[in-house]
Amino acid sequence: MFRSSKVYFNDKFLEVGAYAFYECDNLNEIILPTSVKPIGEKAFGQNVWWGNYGKITSVYIYAEVPPEGNGDIPQRNELKIYVPEKSVDMYKKHQSWATYRNYIFPME
């Protein structure tokens, strides 16, 4: 069982597979490098039918071009998705990320 609260991928990592971290209840921070292109279905999802909304509060995506898929990150009031400043509008309009537009912020 994955017990870490933070997951970081180095620049050699190319994709996050479907259900890779599904229902990892301790996960609260995700850092995705520029190399990650697709993010699989429910890669970071939770079983909300059972009342589990997870603890993910911070997602850092260094890719200037939004990756396909969003991993079904649970939308919570505390969630903040940080992307490169010049890419904020692109993420907010992208098919995979538009539903997260209120959670997307520029990296500082």
List, for residues 43-93, the tens digit of each pLDDT value: 887 755 555 556 788 999 999 999 999 888 888 888 999 999 999 999 999
* Domain boundary assignment for the chain: 6-106
Confidence of residue 104 (pLDDT cuts 50, 70, 90): very high
* pLDDT, mean of residues 91-106: 96
Taking the C-alpha atoms of residue 44 and residue 2, their distance in angstroms, rounded to an integer, is 12
Cβ burial 18-53 (10 Å sphere, 16+ → b, else e): bebbbbbeebbebbbbeebebbbebbbbbeeeeeee
Backbone phi, psi, residue 16, to 5°: -105, 115
What is the per-residue pLDDT across 1-31, written as a single tens digit (0 to 9) for each? 566 788 888 888 899 888 888 877 788 898 9
Residue 2 has what pLDDT?
61
Q: Which amino acid is at 83?
A: V
The domain 6-106 having CATH identifier 2.60.200: the answer here is: no
Angle at CA 74, nearest 5°, toward 84 and 57? 55
The DSSP H or E segment spanning 106 is strand 104-106
What is the pTM (predicted TM-score) of this model? 0.87
Neighbours of 75 (CB within 10 A): 13
User: Between residues 102 and 55, which one has the greater pLDDT?
Assistant: 102
Neighbours of 72 (CB within 10 A): 18
